Amino acid sequence: MDEKEYESYVKKVTPTTSLAKNMFMAFLAGGIICLIGQVLINLFIKMGLEKETAINYETLILVFSAILLTGLNVYQKLAKHGGAGTLVPITGFANSVGSCAIEFKKEGQVFGIGCKIFTIAGPVILYGLFSSSLLGFIYWIYTLFSH
């Protein structure tokens, strides 16, 4: 089997439909989570809350629900099908915090839960904070010259 034959063989046996299917499932799962978010925001605005406050309550409920579903081992099952659809929304972040905390509780309050709760949250917070501060520094220099 020469190289070309091998390549075409690999192409043939590699499932090509799986990416399309994964994308569709991610679209569906992510779309539904965002839709729920929008329903909550509109509901809170209808109840008379300011938009910012409505968004805060929406975030709170999404995070709470995601962690509850994580504890009940439901979110993990959804994530198996939803892929990026369950990872990309804020609920994916909440899931990673909750699941790490639960998984390592046997290792103790400090070095188990205390450390491991930051397994994913730590890098996300660190690099988000670092890049926003770096850009904030550039923005600060810009404000010095624009006033």
Partner 1 sequence: MDYLKAFLIGGIICAIVQIFIDKTKLMPGRIMVGLVVLGTILGFIGLYQPFIDFAGAGASVPLLGFGNTLMKGVKEAVDSEGFLGIFLGGLKTCALGISSALIFGYIASLIFNPKTPD
Least distance from C-beta 4 to partner 1, angstroms? 23
* Minimum CB distance to partner 1 smaller for 22 or for 49: 22
44 membership: H or E segment, kind and range: helix 17-46
Written as six digits, the tokens of 25 are: 């499932």
* Burial status of residue 66 (CB atoms within 10 A of its CB: 0-12, 13-18, 19 or more): buried
Type of residue at 77: K
* Minimum CB distance to partner 1 smaller for 8 or for 38: 38
Type of residue at 110: V
* Minimum CB distance to partner 1 smaller for 9 or for 64: 64
Least distance from C-beta 100 to partner 1, angstroms? 8
Least distance from C-beta 113 to partner 1, angstroms? 5
Least distance from C-beta 53 to partner 1, angstroms? 10
* Under 8 Å between Cβ of 98 and 119: no
* Minimum CB distance to partner 1 smaller for 7 or for 28: 28
Distance of alpha carbon 95 from alpha carbon 72, whole angstroms: 11
